[in-house]
Every structure is written in structure tokens, then in C-alpha cells.
Amino acid sequence: MREIDSLSKVSIIGAGNVGASCAQRLAERNYADIVLVDIADGLPQGRALDILESAPITGFSRRIIGSGEYREAANSDVVVITSGLGRKPGMTRDELLKANVSIVSDVVRRVADCSPDCTIIMVTNPVDAMTYLAVSASGFPHSRVVGLSGVLDGARFRSFISAELEVSASDISACVLGQHGENMVIIPRLTTVGGRPITGLLPQETIDRLVKRTVEGGAEIVGLLKTGSAFYAPSAAVAQMVDAIIRNEKRVLPCAAYLDGEYGIKDSVIGVPVKLGGKGIEQIIELELTGEEKVALVNSANAVRRLIDGMKLG
């Protein structure tokens, strides 16, 4: 692990619930200055000030500011993009895509202009297609654009398994690949508790139920909240990804990544295990999959490809 640069800087574009929660989590880590940017007048300033006023209690000493200007985000090491419309009850990811294309395109170009050497973490949904859009709009190497997917989905699956088996979630390793959403590919035989596959610990009908709940995890929360979507778990997942980059941890984490032949998939973005470190995606880890699993993963990538084609990037 490298020594953290005292000048490390993380900017978060979008001061909604996910962005603000992420800003708080990162501020409390105390390893980087935090900039919260949003076009809503007063929102990023107010949330940053609220977080700053918690510093004497939580003990962080790094700078946090809120701004409506991208210039404050200049020369960031990592930029987290949460901007865009949130998912509403009954809204499909396809509908969300159309609403967020123009917003995210503009944000990414502004980020690339002010922080040309940063790594982008895309959070805006539908995240796989938005990550592809960020690769295109930024002109960055594929390795410096990564999307939130399996860290969150895996955490949900681990939480459900933990409750079912009454074991610590920290002893559970989940294998979640593919699109973030209905075409997610969860592989129970590679999901383990203390090294033992859950296929030997839980009946198939229970596994199927937990898989289904994980796939529908975001929609379940949207349905319960009525007027919002998940942000506590997503912000925790993003913070873990930022940790891996800023601290150069070289963690193997499941993230949305651009594939150029890996897993037999080209020119699409899906969730796969990657080695995440100071240079962004330093390696894409290719798992040994069964024929059925490979087909499911290709189908998932094709579903993302249809969304990408629908964006008409030219």
C-alpha cells in the first residue's frame, strides 16, 4: 500500500443523498480533501458545511467544500459522478437511461476538462451504460473509468446470506457479475461462507429466493421509500472503491468495466472482478465459468449493448 499523498483530492459531482452520504464517509476517512459539486443553488454548500461541522466530533481534519463551480474540482485524483435523475417507482432502467444521457455527457466533459488525470467512478444509473458513456465522453483510457455495480450487489447478497445463515457478512464472499439490474449474473457455486460454497449450505429454493431478492434489491428499496432510492449502501460501496484507488490497495472488487475481449466480450461494459488500485483498473480478472454461466454473462453484456446503442453516441 502506498503512502497517501497529503494533497489527495476527491470530488463528488451531485450533492443528492448518494453524493452527500459518500462525501461524509470519505471526509471521515481523513485521507483527502473533498469537493461536493452541484448546480442546485446552496445544496452542495449547505451539505458540505453540515459535514464540516461534524469534524470536531468525528475527528477529521481535511478540507471539505461545496460549490456550484467545476473549477473547485480541478486536479482531483478521483471524481465520483452521482449526477442525474433518480429512479422512481415503476420506472425502468431504459427510461432512466434516456433521462440521464444528456446530463451525464455534460458532467463527464466538464470533469475531463478540469481533472484530466483523474479516475472516474460512475454511480448514475443505468450504471453500465453510463460508464460506457463516460469512457466515450471523457476520452480517458478504459482503465480510468469504472462503475459501481458488484460491490453494491455483492454486499446486498452477502447481507441476505448473513441473515439467512446467522453468520458474519465479513466471512461471506459473493460472486456477482454482469449488468447491474435485471440481467445480473449471480454465481452461487462461487459464493462462499468461510470458504464453503453456499450451494452446500442452503437449499436451492432458498438460494433462488436470495438471488431474486438481490437482483431486485434496488427496486425493493425504491418501492418502500416511495419518493427516493437507496443511498446508504451505494455510498458505502463507492467509498470502498475510492479507498482502493487513493490508497493504492490493489483490491479485487467487482466493478463495471469496459471489456475488450475479456470473457469473449468486446465493446461493452459489465460487472467483472478487477484489480483496483492507484491507476484505476489495473487488471481484469477472468474467472473460470461454466458454459451456462458464460452464456448468461454474454446475454447480460448484450442487454447493456442494446442500451448503449440506444444512446446513439455515433
DSSP conformation class of 84 = S
What domains lie within the chain, and their CATH numbers? 9-147 (3.40.50.720), 150-311 (3.90.110.10)
Nearest to 229 by CA among 80, 19, 70: 19
Q: Identify the pLDDT of residue 24.
A: 98
CA distance 128 to 297: 13
From the candidates 180, 241, 253, 284, give the one annotated as an active-site residue. 180
Give catalytic status of residue 142 as yes or no. no
Band the pLDDT of 224: cuts 50, 70, 90.
very high
**Residue spans of beta strands (DSSP E) within the chain:** 9-13, 33-37, 64-67, 78-81, 119-122, 145-147, 172-173, 176-178, 184-186, 192-193, 196-197, 251-260, 266-277, 280-284
Alpha-carbon distance values, 64 to 70, 175, 267, 293 (Å): 15, 35, 37, 44
Band the pLDDT of 95: cuts 50, 70, 90.
confident
Q: What pTM did the predictor assign?
A: 0.94
**Residue spans of beta strands (DSSP E) within 77-193:** 78-81, 119-122, 145-147, 172-173, 176-178, 184-186, 192-193
- Average pLDDT (278-304) is 97
Band the pLDDT of 97: cuts 50, 70, 90.
confident
pLDDT tens digit sequence for 30-83: 999 999 999 999 999 999 999 999 999 999 999 999 999 999 999 999 999 999
Checking if the pLDDT of 119 tops 50, the result is yes
Percent of the chain scored above 90 by pLDDT?
87
Q: Identify the pLDDT of residue 3.
A: 52
Which cell numbers in the block locate residue 202?
Answer: 442452503
Band the pLDDT of 87: cuts 50, 70, 90.
low
CA dihedral 252, 284, 287, 289 (to 10 degrees): 140
